[in-house]
Protein backbone atom coordinates (compact mmCIF):
# COMPACT_ATOMS: atom_id res chain seq x y z
CA UNK A 1 0.00 0.00 0.00
CA UNK A 2 1.19 3.51 -0.83
CA UNK A 3 2.84 5.45 2.00
CA UNK A 4 2.35 9.14 2.80
CA UNK A 5 5.09 11.70 2.31
CA UNK A 6 4.55 14.75 4.53
CA UNK A 7 5.79 17.94 2.90
CA UNK A 8 6.25 21.00 5.07
CA UNK A 9 8.24 24.19 5.52
CA UNK A 10 7.82 27.79 6.56
CA UNK A 11 5.78 30.29 4.60
CA UNK A 12 7.19 30.79 1.10
CA UNK A 13 9.75 28.00 1.43
CA UNK A 14 8.66 26.22 -1.76
CA UNK A 15 6.05 23.64 -0.67
CA UNK A 16 3.62 24.40 -3.50
CA UNK A 17 6.45 24.32 -6.03
CA UNK A 18 7.51 20.90 -4.69
CA UNK A 19 3.90 19.65 -4.65
CA UNK A 20 3.41 20.73 -8.25
CA UNK A 21 6.60 18.88 -9.18
CA UNK A 22 5.43 15.66 -7.47
CA UNK A 23 2.00 16.05 -9.04
CA UNK A 24 3.53 16.38 -12.53
CA UNK A 25 5.48 13.21 -11.82
CA UNK A 26 2.14 11.47 -11.19
CA UNK A 27 2.08 11.41 -7.37
CA UNK A 28 -1.30 12.33 -5.82
CA UNK A 29 -1.08 15.44 -3.65
CA UNK A 30 -3.33 16.54 -0.77
CA UNK A 31 -2.97 20.29 -0.10
CA UNK A 32 -4.00 21.28 3.45
CA UNK A 33 -4.03 25.02 2.59
CA UNK A 34 -6.47 24.32 -0.28
CA UNK A 35 -8.64 22.24 2.07
CA UNK A 36 -8.54 25.06 4.62
CA UNK A 37 -9.59 27.59 1.97
CA UNK A 38 -12.44 25.38 0.71
CA UNK A 39 -13.81 25.18 4.26
CA UNK A 40 -14.06 28.98 4.36
CA UNK A 41 -15.61 29.65 0.95
CA UNK A 42 -19.28 30.72 0.84
CA UNK A 43 -21.27 27.85 2.33
CA UNK A 44 -18.08 26.22 3.66
CA UNK A 45 -18.33 23.97 6.70
CA UNK A 46 -16.33 26.41 8.88
CA UNK A 47 -18.42 29.51 8.14
CA UNK A 48 -21.10 29.12 10.86
CA UNK A 49 -18.48 28.54 13.57
CA UNK A 50 -16.36 31.48 12.35
CA UNK A 51 -19.38 33.81 12.36
CA UNK A 52 -20.22 32.57 15.84
CA UNK A 53 -16.67 32.94 17.21
CA UNK A 54 -15.58 36.18 15.51
CA UNK A 55 -18.84 37.87 14.54
CA UNK A 56 -20.52 38.71 11.23
CA UNK A 57 -17.79 41.32 10.50
CA UNK A 58 -15.46 38.49 9.56
CA UNK A 59 -17.82 37.15 6.90
CA UNK A 60 -17.94 38.79 3.45
CA UNK A 61 -21.27 39.75 1.82
CA UNK A 62 -20.87 36.61 -0.34
CA UNK A 63 -20.68 34.43 2.78
CA UNK A 64 -16.96 33.58 2.78
CA UNK A 65 -14.48 34.19 5.61
CA UNK A 66 -12.88 37.61 5.16
CA UNK A 67 -9.32 36.32 4.81
CA UNK A 68 -7.57 39.68 4.75
CA UNK A 69 -9.33 40.83 7.92
CA UNK A 70 -8.71 37.51 9.65
CA UNK A 71 -5.04 37.57 8.62
CA UNK A 72 -4.60 41.04 10.13
CA UNK A 73 -6.20 39.86 13.37
CA UNK A 74 -4.62 36.48 13.98
CA UNK A 75 -0.98 37.09 13.14
CA UNK A 76 -0.81 39.92 15.70
CA UNK A 77 -2.86 38.18 18.37
CA UNK A 78 -1.92 34.63 19.47
CA UNK A 79 -5.18 34.19 21.43
CA UNK A 80 -7.25 35.00 18.34
CA UNK A 81 -5.10 32.60 16.33
CA UNK A 82 -5.79 29.86 18.89
CA UNK A 83 -9.52 30.54 18.53
CA UNK A 84 -9.31 30.34 14.74
CA UNK A 85 -7.28 27.15 14.91
CA UNK A 86 -9.80 25.77 17.41
CA UNK A 87 -12.45 26.10 14.71
CA UNK A 88 -10.33 25.13 11.70
CA UNK A 89 -8.03 22.41 12.97
CA UNK A 90 -10.58 19.61 13.55
CA UNK A 91 -12.28 20.39 10.22
CA UNK A 92 -8.97 20.45 8.31
CA UNK A 93 -7.94 17.25 10.06
CA UNK A 94 -11.11 15.36 9.11
CA UNK A 95 -11.13 16.56 5.48
CA UNK A 96 -7.39 15.86 5.14
CA UNK A 97 -7.74 12.31 6.45
CA UNK A 98 -10.51 11.62 3.93
CA UNK A 99 -8.50 13.17 1.10
CA UNK A 100 -5.40 11.19 2.11
CA UNK A 101 -7.29 7.91 1.92
CA UNK A 102 -8.47 8.83 -1.60
CA UNK A 103 -4.92 9.87 -2.53
CA UNK A 104 -3.53 6.59 -1.21
CA UNK A 105 -6.03 4.61 -3.33
CA UNK A 106 -5.18 6.74 -6.37
CA UNK A 107 -1.47 6.10 -5.82
CA UNK A 108 -2.09 2.36 -5.47
CA UNK A 109 -4.18 2.29 -8.64
CA UNK A 110 -1.48 4.22 -10.53
CA UNK A 111 1.33 2.03 -9.18
CA UNK A 112 2.92 4.96 -7.33
CA UNK A 113 4.83 4.24 -4.12
CA UNK A 114 3.48 7.22 -2.17
CA UNK A 115 1.08 10.16 -2.02
CA UNK A 116 2.06 13.63 -0.80
CA UNK A 117 0.52 15.60 2.09
CA UNK A 118 1.46 19.28 1.71
CA UNK A 119 0.73 20.91 5.06
CA UNK A 120 2.41 24.07 6.38
CA UNK A 121 1.80 23.17 10.01
CA UNK A 122 2.80 19.50 9.99
CA UNK A 123 5.42 20.09 12.69
CA UNK A 124 3.17 22.37 14.74
CA UNK A 125 0.20 19.98 14.80
CA UNK A 126 1.18 16.64 16.39
CA UNK A 127 -1.95 14.93 15.04
CA UNK A 128 -0.91 15.86 11.48
CA UNK A 129 2.59 14.51 12.01
CA UNK A 130 1.17 11.08 12.92
CA UNK A 131 -0.56 10.59 9.55
CA UNK A 132 2.67 10.79 7.55
CA UNK A 133 5.20 8.02 7.14
CA UNK A 134 8.12 10.24 6.19
CA UNK A 135 8.65 13.97 6.61
CA UNK A 136 10.30 16.16 3.98
CA UNK A 137 11.11 19.71 5.12
CA UNK A 138 11.71 22.42 2.54
CA UNK A 139 14.11 24.81 4.23
CA UNK A 140 14.82 28.45 3.49
CA UNK A 141 16.38 31.34 5.40
CA UNK A 142 14.05 34.03 6.73
CA UNK A 143 15.30 36.85 4.48
CA UNK A 144 14.63 34.79 1.36
CA UNK A 145 11.20 33.69 2.67
CA UNK A 146 10.29 37.36 3.09
CA UNK A 147 11.67 38.29 -0.34
CA UNK A 148 9.82 35.52 -2.20
CA UNK A 149 6.49 36.02 -0.42
CA UNK A 150 6.69 39.79 -1.06
CA UNK A 151 7.34 39.11 -4.76
CA UNK A 152 4.24 36.98 -5.16
CA UNK A 153 1.80 38.79 -2.83
CA UNK A 154 1.04 42.15 -1.28
CA UNK A 155 2.16 41.05 2.20
CA UNK A 156 4.59 43.48 3.85
CA UNK A 157 7.91 42.22 5.27
CA UNK A 158 6.50 42.91 8.80
CA UNK A 159 3.46 40.74 8.10
CA UNK A 160 5.59 37.90 6.71
CA UNK A 161 7.80 38.16 9.81
CA UNK A 162 4.75 37.92 12.09
CA UNK A 163 3.60 34.79 10.19
CA UNK A 164 7.07 33.26 10.53
CA UNK A 165 6.97 34.00 14.28
CA UNK A 166 3.62 32.14 14.48
CA UNK A 167 5.29 29.04 13.04
CA UNK A 168 7.66 26.57 14.64
CA UNK A 169 11.28 27.88 14.73
CA UNK A 170 13.38 26.77 11.77
CA UNK A 171 15.77 24.54 13.79
CA UNK A 172 12.90 22.79 15.61
CA UNK A 173 11.23 22.04 12.26
CA UNK A 174 14.50 20.72 10.82
CA UNK A 175 14.96 18.51 13.89
CA UNK A 176 11.74 16.65 13.00
CA UNK A 177 12.69 16.05 9.36
CA UNK A 178 13.54 12.72 7.77
CA UNK A 179 14.69 14.54 4.64
CA UNK A 180 15.62 18.19 4.06
CA UNK A 181 15.93 20.16 0.85
CA UNK A 182 17.41 23.63 1.13
CA UNK A 183 15.66 25.78 -1.49
CA UNK A 184 17.97 28.79 -1.41
CA UNK A 185 19.29 28.20 -4.94
CA UNK A 186 17.62 28.41 -8.33
CA UNK A 187 14.38 26.71 -9.30
CA UNK A 188 16.46 24.38 -11.45
CA UNK A 189 18.57 23.41 -8.41
CA UNK A 190 15.37 22.78 -6.48
CA UNK A 191 13.92 20.51 -9.17
CA UNK A 192 17.20 18.58 -9.35
CA UNK A 193 17.16 18.07 -5.58
CA UNK A 194 13.56 16.83 -5.78
CA UNK A 195 14.46 14.42 -8.59
CA UNK A 196 17.43 13.07 -6.59
CA UNK A 197 15.22 12.57 -3.54
CA UNK A 198 12.57 10.79 -5.60
CA UNK A 199 15.25 8.41 -6.90
CA UNK A 200 16.19 7.60 -3.31
CA UNK A 201 12.54 7.00 -2.37
CA UNK A 202 12.06 4.69 -5.34
CA UNK A 203 15.22 2.78 -4.55
CA UNK A 204 13.91 2.34 -0.99
CA UNK A 205 10.62 0.96 -2.30
CA UNK A 206 12.35 -1.85 -4.27
C1 LIG B 1 -5.05 33.19 8.69
C2 LIG B 1 -5.70 33.00 7.33
C3 LIG B 1 -7.11 33.57 7.34
C4 LIG B 1 -4.86 33.80 6.28
O5 LIG B 1 -5.39 33.56 5.00
P6 LIG B 1 -4.49 33.88 3.71
O7 LIG B 1 -5.38 33.67 2.51
O8 LIG B 1 -3.83 35.19 3.88
O9 LIG B 1 -3.31 32.80 3.72
P10 LIG B 1 -3.32 31.23 3.36
O11 LIG B 1 -4.48 30.55 3.98
O12 LIG B 1 -3.08 31.07 1.91
O13 LIG B 1 -2.03 30.74 4.19
C14 LIG B 1 -0.75 31.18 3.79
C15 LIG B 1 0.29 30.66 4.74
O16 LIG B 1 0.13 31.26 6.03
C17 LIG B 1 0.63 30.37 7.00
N18 LIG B 1 -0.43 30.09 8.00
C19 LIG B 1 -1.77 29.96 7.81
N20 LIG B 1 -2.40 29.70 8.97
C21 LIG B 1 -1.44 29.67 9.92
C22 LIG B 1 -1.45 29.45 11.31
N23 LIG B 1 -2.60 29.18 11.96
N24 LIG B 1 -0.27 29.48 11.97
C25 LIG B 1 0.89 29.73 11.34
N26 LIG B 1 0.97 29.95 10.00
C27 LIG B 1 -0.18 29.92 9.32
C28 LIG B 1 1.02 29.10 6.24
O29 LIG B 1 2.39 29.16 5.91
C30 LIG B 1 0.22 29.17 4.99
O31 LIG B 1 0.81 28.43 3.93
C32 LIG B 1 -5.71 31.50 6.91
O33 LIG B 1 -4.40 31.05 6.69
C34 LIG B 1 -6.40 30.60 7.92
O35 LIG B 1 -7.62 30.47 7.91
N36 LIG B 1 -5.61 29.96 8.81
C37 LIG B 1 -6.18 29.05 9.79
C38 LIG B 1 -6.16 27.64 9.28
C39 LIG B 1 -4.78 27.10 9.31
O40 LIG B 1 -4.17 27.01 10.38
N41 LIG B 1 -4.22 26.78 8.12
C42 LIG B 1 -2.87 26.33 7.97
C43 LIG B 1 -2.72 24.86 7.98
S44 LIG B 1 -3.66 24.02 6.80
N1 LIG C 1 14.29 28.14 -5.91
C2 LIG C 1 13.49 29.19 -6.12
N3 LIG C 1 13.97 30.32 -6.66
C4 LIG C 1 13.16 31.40 -6.86
N5 LIG C 1 11.85 31.43 -6.56
C6 LIG C 1 11.32 30.32 -6.02
C7 LIG C 1 12.10 29.14 -5.77
N8 LIG C 1 11.30 28.20 -5.22
C9 LIG C 1 10.07 28.77 -5.13
N10 LIG C 1 10.07 30.03 -5.60
C11 LIG C 1 8.97 31.01 -5.64
O12 LIG C 1 8.80 31.46 -4.31
C13 LIG C 1 7.42 31.64 -4.02
C14 LIG C 1 7.04 30.74 -2.83
O15 LIG C 1 7.10 29.39 -3.26
P16 LIG C 1 5.87 28.40 -2.97
O17 LIG C 1 4.57 29.06 -3.29
O18 LIG C 1 6.20 27.10 -3.64
O19 LIG C 1 6.06 28.29 -1.39
P20 LIG C 1 5.06 27.72 -0.29
O21 LIG C 1 5.93 27.10 0.75
O22 LIG C 1 4.03 26.86 -0.93
O23 LIG C 1 4.41 29.07 0.25
P24 LIG C 1 3.14 29.24 1.28
O25 LIG C 1 3.65 28.84 2.62
O26 LIG C 1 2.86 30.69 1.24
O27 LIG C 1 2.04 28.41 0.76
C28 LIG C 1 6.66 31.32 -5.30
O29 LIG C 1 6.42 32.50 -6.00
C30 LIG C 1 7.64 30.42 -6.06
O31 LIG C 1 7.46 30.49 -7.45
> Sheet harboring 29-31: ordered strands across?
29-31, 114-118, 3-9, 134-139, 179-182
Is 60 exceeded by the pLDDT of residue 121?
Answer: yes
pLDDT surpasses 90 at 182: yes
Which is nearest to 107 in space by CA: 202, 28, 198, 31? 28
Task: Note the ipTM here.
Answer: 0.97
Q: Quick check: is 27 in a domain?
A: yes
The tens digit of pLDDT for each residue in 107-116 reads 999 999 999 9
**Alpha carbons 107 and 99: distance in angstroms, whole number:** 12
Q: Which structural domain range is residue 35 located in? A: 3-201
- Nearest residue by C-alpha to atom 1 in ligand 2: 187
pLDDT tier at 164, thresholds 50, 70, 90: very high
pTM for the full predicted model: 0.97
The pLDDT value given to residue 129: 87
Domains contained in the chain, number:
1
Residue 57 lies inside a defined structural domain of this protein: yes
Ligand 1 atom nearest 125 alpha carbon: 43
**Residue 158 burial by CB count (10 A; 0-12/13-18/19+): exposed, middle or buried?**
exposed
User: Is residue 120 lining ligand 1, measured as CB closer than 6 Å?
Assistant: yes
Q: What is the mean pLDDT of residues 17-37?
A: 98
Residue 185 lies in a domain: yes
Residue 102 lies in a domain: yes
- CB within 8 A of 26, min separation 6: which ones? 110, 112
Is residue 164 lining ligand 1, measured as CB closer than 6 Å?
Answer: no
C-alpha closest to that of 180 among 167, 194, 166:
194
Mean pLDDT of the chain: 96
**Which pLDDT score, from 0 to 100, does residue 191 have?**
98
56 is a domain residue: yes
Residue 26 lies in a domain: yes
**Band (189; pLDDT cuts 50, 70, 90):** very high
Closest ligand to 68 CA? 1
CATH code, domain with 53: 3.40.50.300
The per-residue pLDDT for range 61-105, each reduced to its tens digit, is 999 999 999 999 999 999 999 999 999 999 999 999 999 999 999
Residue 206 scores a pLDDT above 60: no
pLDDT exceeds 90 at position 60:
yes
In percent, how much of the chain has pLDDT > 70? 99
DSSP 8-state symbol, 9 = E
Is residue 206 situated within a structural domain? no
Whether 53 lines ligand 2, by a CB cut-off of 6 Å, is no
Q: Which ligand 2 atom minimizes the distance to the CA of 118? A: 22
Residue 205: is its pLDDT beyond 80? Answer: no
Residue 111 lies in a domain: yes
Q: Over 80: is that where the pLDDT of 132 sits?
A: yes
Amino acid sequence: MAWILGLTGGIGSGKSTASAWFSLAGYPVVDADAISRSLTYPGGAAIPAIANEFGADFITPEGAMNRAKMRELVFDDPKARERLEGVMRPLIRRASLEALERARSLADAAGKAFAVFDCPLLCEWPEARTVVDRLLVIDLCEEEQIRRVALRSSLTPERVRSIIRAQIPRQARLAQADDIIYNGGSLEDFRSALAALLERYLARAD
